[in-house]
Structures are given as C-alpha cells and as structure tokens.
Structure 1
C-alpha cells in the first residue's frame, strides 16, 4: 500500500474531510422498483460519489482549502477519485491506496420526480481506522473545520474530531447513512446535519415524533447544535437554550437531488472555516444545496461561492 503525495500540500487546509469515496453507478427509472420486479432504465452513467468526497468538493468550490483523509483501491474507480480531487484542488497526501481491495461503489436509482434510492458498498473505505487520524495529526491540528459522514467507520471520525477539538477546530458530522452514534462522538460534534428521517432514527423516536423533540434528545446527549435539512422545505437549527431557527427552501428546477445533503454539509464547513457565524453559514449552505439540485449527479450542480452569493442577493420569485 502507498500514500499519494503528489497533490498540493494540505498542511494548512481550512477544511479536512474524513472521506468516503464511491463511484456512482446511476440508472434513471420512472419510479421505485418493487421487490422481484425489473424496470428498463432510460439512462445510465458513472460519476464521482461518496458523501465525504462530495462534501469535500462542495467545500472546495466554496473557496476552502480542503484536504482528505481517505482509503481507496488501486483500481480504475480509485484513479477516478484521485483525478477528481486534483482537478478540484483538494490535497490527497492522506489518501491511502491499497492494491488488494476495491474502491467503493454506490448503485443509485434516480426517479422521474428527481428523488432517488442508493445502495452503497464502501470497499477500501471500510478499512479506515483511528490510526489514519493519528497519521494525519499535523493536518488536523492546523485546520479550522473537520467534517465526516457516517459512510466511514466511526472510530476514525471520533479520533479525528478529538484531535481537531484539542487544537480548537470545529467539527461537522453528517450522520448519513444513519446509525446509532455513541455519546462520546456526539460530545465531540459541533454541528450535526441529519435529514428528518435520520434525525428520528438517531434520536430513537417513532416516525410520527416531532423534529423538535428529536433534536432536543441529541442535544441532551452532547451535540452542540443540530441542523436538520428538510429537502425542499429548507432547514432548521437547534441549539441548547435557544429558540429554533428556520430557513425556507427555494423553488428550483430539479434535475435530481443526489448530493444535495453533501453540498449542504460541505458549504456549511467552508463558511464556518471562513469565520461565519452558524446562522450565516446555515443560510449559505441552504442556498448551495438549492442550487445543487439543478444539475445531474452528485457534483454536477455543486455551485461556486459566487453563485451562492448571487442567489442570496436575488429576489425570491413569486
């Protein structure tokens, strides 16, 4: 196994992402497929994916200097990832390549209404561990924000967050796909960014429970802030001792919703790294996610910071 060290140095990165990487295999079908049913797809494509990689690209396009901690295979899909990150100006010194494991793959069905379903095989990314965070201690100790999804093992995220917190950095956790989270990790999380269904699962509440109640459960367990993404309805911020803060969604022409949550997390991390207060960072992230649904694939619609600011400056259409 080797470390790729040919990209620009990430020693002084603003944002470090503990990243999952997948090649997205995308089929477009009219509707969800029933068990045992076969539907003909109208289109197929292979494109970059993985929640961590997507969020890293989103942060880079928002002007942040970004570096990755990741693990990929020495295969065509792994090489796809390295090319993407170099093209986006993302530092890859802490990307480990392994010869005997495949890179991750996500099989995605996109429906006519723009919604989607996803099955993920993490591949080499499943081998990330706390020792990878230790190997990146210098990188983590000099950044401003560390972010991670739940597509990577929790042990590497918890160690990376602990190292970053010791140095005064903020931490952002996108708990997707949702899984039970230890209180120790929640206590190291400055901003948790679930969607509604993930929020209820993390809080251990039934589907009919309110987002307010679920968010308070997670804050009581240690999360400093819970920022819930609500799809087309916008987002809502919860912090201990403060009234919830809501932002409405924006009406956009939807190509597909792949990567919208990752765009939100990456844009949020970039804004926090610039020193934006959380409510202002939330507004930027909300606008970035809205723009992202106007393009195809996980990164096709990810906007620049200039595009986000232009959208925020424009009057809402009636």
Structure 2
C-alpha cells in the first residue's frame, strides 16, 4: 500500500478535487432525482422537498399504465416521435455530412471558403434556429412562399406547425444545424486515410464503390460509431428547437411535434408534478443506458485500440 501511494499518490491528489466535483455536480443530483421519483412531490408538498410523502412506484404507474393520465398519453406520443425523429435526423445528418466531406476532400476552387461557409449553420445557437424556423414555417412564411408561389411544388400553402407536418417542421431545422459537425468530423477522418491505399486499389482495378467499401468505410467506421452515439443522445434529449418554435414552451406542439424533453418540461413545470417528472426522467435515463449498451455491443470491435 505504501509503495502504491508513493507511486501514484501525487496523481490521485491532483485528481481528487475533480472527482469530488463530479460527485457533487453529477452523481449527487442524479441520486436525488431517483429518490424524488418515489415521492408525491407537487405544488402542495414542494416545501417539504425530499421529505414529501413516499408513494413507491405510483409515479411510474401513472406514466406507464394510467390511461387517464395526461402525462401517460403524452409520454407514449413523445417516445414514438422521439424515436422516429432520432432515426430520420441521424440518417440524414450522417449521409449528408459524409457526402459533403467527400466533396470538400477533393481539390476545389476556394475550398477553405466553402468549408467555412458550410459550417455556419452549426455556429447558430439552437434557440435561434428554433425561433427563426418557427417564423419560416408559418402559413404565410418564407418556406410556403418558396414552395407555392415561386417553385409551384404545392397547390396550396400547408400549415406546417399543426398536425403530422409538425414532425418535418422540427426534423428539417435539426438536420440543417447538425450536419456541419458531421461533415467536418468525417472530413478529418478522410484526410487521415493514407492515399497510397487508394492508389494501390486503382492499380488493382478497384471501382470507386469498391474503394469506398474496402478502404474508406473501414477507416471511418470508428468515427461513425462516435457520431451515432452523440447524434442519437443529442436528438434524444433535444429541447431548444421545439421549445422556441412553439411559443417558448407555452404552446403544445401536438403529438407529432412533442419530444421527450419538451413533454417532460411541460408536464413537470406546467402541472407542478415534480415526482412524476422525476420518474419520467429516470425512465428516459434507462432508455439512454439501454441504447448505449446496444451501441457498445455493435461497435465494440471498432472502438478497440489499433
């Protein structure tokens, strides 16, 4: 023990403040949130905080099985919409980002300028994106003006912020803001692939698709794994765009526009059901952990040091 402390004691001494900070900032509030999910914590009992009446699994029952609960109805819709939202956004972001990374990785006139311009959507804060696109999606907004009056792609101006079209009203701004980060990450990965591999493949008569399949894809697969992890978790906890697009959280975006985080915010702080909201947060966290375990199982070999 003395030898161990003599060898590593100084390192652990420097790490200790950061570890203590992580414990206080992250893990202690998380444990409090889990405990709150078993309490009847609402407007009447808020002053009691962690001493509110203990109700066991009642909060979880209200979310999962109580058909008369508005929280449960919204939860089911939010889970469905969030899963579809995450799949569409990440599939489009990865595809568009990889395509543009390939374009920018080739000799191109003013390539540096194009790279800078294409990064601009990523620089715009998500709150601003939600606010601006909310105006653009209005019935008399710029999008309907472009689609109907200029391009004549639609016979009449649809209501994008009402009904099933709401789904696309939140998907497209998210893709618009997210793909630049994917593009620049893929670009860095592509530039790290030795060009000698492509030259040897060309000599052997490999087609462009074969070169992508056997050289490019294996090289960028670990980067793709990280992008999928961050992308799915980012869309899973997406909040700002929907919050700003529909009346700063005061408006209900409908069953096709309500995500897990906006549903949690509205039902917890709008109805003052903090115990039920804590239970919903624990369920969200459990779903995130389940996805991370599945993700690690799929990409475990790609994440090993080479």
Same fold judged by TM-score > 0.5?
Answer: no
**Could you say which structure has the higher helix fraction?**
2
TM-score, normalised to structure 1, is 0.23
Structure of greater Rg:
2
